[in-house]
Amino acid sequence: MKNTETSPTALNLPVVDPLPEDTQKYFDLCAEKLGLIPNVLRAHAFDIAKLDAFAGLYNELMLAPSGLSKLEREMIAVVVSAENRCFYCLVAHGQAVRALSGDPILGEMLVMNYRMAQLAPNQRAMLDFSLKMTKSSATIEEADRQTLRDVGYVDRDIWDIANVAAFFNMTNRVASATQMQPNSEYHGQNR
């Protein structure tokens, strides 16, 4: 894969060329299933070990079996990214919420103020916990975990909520620090 497209970040870190066969297959699969290669993957592709570590953790947190639905994990991504004002993740994961929920208004409400959205009590508690982790993780205590248990989450779910929220806090900071740009396709544009 030639890096003839504009860089997905403000950094001059060209994609490895040629990509290793397994990486090229992964990118081809993304293009087939998503209609694009997410810029976050292209951004990491200057170092295949970093790309593999990122993709492995993302896939484990966002796609592996969990008590949380894929939509709920994307909702966490959007609420964390809204607090952190991460343009890349708000665009990419806001689009995922719209697609998974079939509700374009839900995605926008989560971006602007999730408290205004019509959410199930367990989802609101999940997002409250994720926001508290984002704003002041050191203040989380047993009462916060118990609130999640009280609305039906088991400890494994709490682990997943915490890990998804933490992952997006990390990736938000990397995306913002490198001025990572979302793919134009997320906006319904092909450039």
Q: Which of 62, 109, 67, 68 is nearest to 90 (CA)?
A: 109
Question: 6 pLDDT band (50/70/90 cuts)?
Answer: confident
Residue 13 to residue 64: CA distance in whole angstroms: 30
Reduce the DSSP state of residue 189 to 3 states and report it. Answer: coil
| Integer Cα distance of 18 and 24 in angstroms | 9
Task: Compute the average pLDDT of residues 14-28.
Answer: 96
- pLDDT of the residue at 188: 67
Say how far apart CA 75 and CA 123 lie, in whole Å.
9
**Per residue in 94-143, pLDDT tens?**
999 999 999 989 989 999 999 999 999 999 999 999 999 999 999 999 99
Distance in angstroms (rounded) separating the CA atoms of residues 53 and 55 = 6
The pLDDT of residue 3 is above 90: no
Cα(163)–Cα(67) distance, rounded to whole angstroms?
A: 13
Q: Please state the pTM of the whole predicted model.
A: 0.93
Burial class (CB in 10 A: 0-12, 13-18, 19+), 57: middle
| pLDDT for position 78 | 97
Is residue 93 a contact partner of residue 74, using CB atoms and an 8 Å limit?
yes
Query: What band does 191 get if pLDDT is binned at 50, 70 and 90?
Result: very low
